Every structure is written in structure tokens, then in C-alpha cells.
Amino acid sequence: MKAFRSALALAVAGLTLSGTLAIAPVAAQPGTDVNGRNVTFVRHAGGSFARQSDGSWGEFDSNGQLTFRFAEMQRDEWSVYLNDPSRNVQIQLDLFRRKISYGTGGAPRSDLYDIIGASRPQTAQQYTPPPRPTRMVNAGPIWNQQDAAMKCPVVAYAVNGRWTGQWRTVQAGQMSVCEIEQ
């Protein structure tokens, strides 16, 4: 019983029986109070996950380019659980273990990345990544906003981008352009 209590005391102190430091949760790091309930940005060696202003999460590559979008399913004290229904992919941002886990089809998740940084908003405002570059892409004639809402997403898809909701006519009755985020 005494050995068990000693091992428990060492574990609580953040040490293993071998005397090496155990991995402490991100929130236990000096000067931070990031946890599963308030985290909005998680960084790994190959990129990051960031909560968007609409409540969804984006996965960004090392160049800051959006690669995937996720819906936030739930949070607990140490984790955020994400889902991409279009690919049937589930992600867990586990701040306690400092791991990002990946699973598909509801199967058990496996560790994908080590978390190397995490942050929460410094104010009430949520984290928003820097604006991404846009370009104007020819779309043929667009007659009104309703017509743009039909044509511009197709144009964006064709150039692997996302329509920003903006468009303009450059030659009346001949040519309009859609603003596409890359």
C-alpha cells in the first residue's frame, strides 16, 4: 500500500516512477489556461485546426490553406470533438494527452498528430484566421444576386476555390466575374 501511495504521489506531481517528467496537459503548462471548453486554435507540426466565426472548425495546412471543414460535435474538460459528415471523419483534439486523433465511420480513433501549441481567445472575440487571397474569375453574364448564387459556386468549384458571395458585371450583358477565395 505504501508503494502505491508513493507512486500516486509521484504521478500527481507529474513524475513517473523512473523519475522522468510525465506529459502534462496543455492547460497545466505555466502561464496558460487553455482547456477543452475554451480552446479555439490547435497547432501541430503539419498545420493547425482553428475555430471559425460561424462555430465550425477548419483544418489548415502548413501554408495556412484551408484543407477541410468540420462541425463541432461536443466539448469536455480536455477535448473538442469534430466531425466531417461529407467524408465520415471524426477528429478529437485531446489537450490532456496532446494528441489529435482521427477515425472514420464511428470506428475507434487513432493518434494522427502531436499537439505542439494551443490557444484560446484573449478577449470575447473568437479566433479568425487571416484573410485568404481572392481573385476574380469569369462567369459569363450574371443578371442578379439570385443568378450569381446559382453560377458562382459552380465557377468556384471548377477552380478549387470558394465563392465569397461577391460578384460584379464587367461588360453589360456579356461578362460578369465572381470573387473566389483560394
134-181 fold: Dna Ligase; domain 1 (3.30.1490)
Domain ranges of the chain: 23-119, 134-181
88 near 104, Cβ under 8 Å?
yes
pTM for the full model? 0.54
> In degrees to the nearest 10, what's the CA dihedral of 37, 72, 156, 180?
-10
56 near 44, Cβ under 8 Å?
no
pLDDT grade, residue 132 (50/70/90)?
A: confident
DSSP 66-87: EEEEEEEEEE-SSEEEEEETTT
Q: State which amino acid sits at residue 163.
A: W
- The per-residue pLDDT for range 73-90, each reduced to its tens digit, is 999 999 999 999 889 999
Find the mean pLDDT for residues 101-116.
93
Q: How far apart are CA 25 and CA 78, in angstroms?
A: 8
Q: State which amino acid sits at residue 115.
A: I
Find the mean pLDDT for residues 152-171.
92
Q: How far apart are CA 13 and CA 50, in angstroms?
A: 32
Which H helix or E strand runs over 82?
Answer: strand 79-84
